[in-house]
Amino acid sequence: MTPGTPILVYDGPCTLCNRTVQWVFDKDVSERILFTSLQSNWAQANVPPSLRTIDSVLFFEGTQWHVKSDAVLYLLRELPRPWRSFFELRIIPRALRNVGYDLLAKFRYRLFGTGHCALLPKERVLV
């Protein structure tokens, strides 16, 4: 892994999260983004403890961690157009964006279940 490599950290058991990871993998034509579950050894060793307790996807961008809706927007910025255009949604206040994010996060297991696993090549996964 080279410095500055973007990393998406997601909830491993979450079906919505795994389907999102698969979608991001398919759209990442530059093949820059690496993936790991929050339950992985890598995440336990590298994700700051204060972030491990937040009910959120995490996105690491070189030197900075992003959570909740910011993580989603910074992740989309790494993808080609038209997806990177969604980064402009940052103009919506974070508190408002995170209300929607938190609502989906709260009910994701009930709505989407658990158990689906994203199929990724091992060179793109941090374990």
Predicted confidence pLDDT, tens digits, the chain (127 residues): 567 899 999 999 999 999 999 999 999 999 999 999 999 999 999 999 999 999 999 999 988 999 999 999 999 999 999 999 999 999 999 999 999 999 999 999 999 999 878 889 999 999 9
Beta strands in the chain (DSSP E): 6-10, 34-37, 58-61, 64-67
pLDDT at 38: 95
Q: Is residue 127 part of a domain?
A: no
Q: Is residue 38 part of a domain?
A: yes
pTM of the model: 0.93
Q: Is residue 126 part of a domain?
A: no
Q: Is residue 69 part of a domain?
A: yes
Q: Is residue 91 part of a domain?
A: yes
- How many domains, in total, are found in the chain? 1
What residue numbers bound the domain in which 113 lies? 6-121
How far is 116 from 100, CA to CA, in rounded Å? Answer: 23
pLDDT at 2: 67
pLDDT at 58: 98
Q: Is residue 33 part of a domain?
A: yes
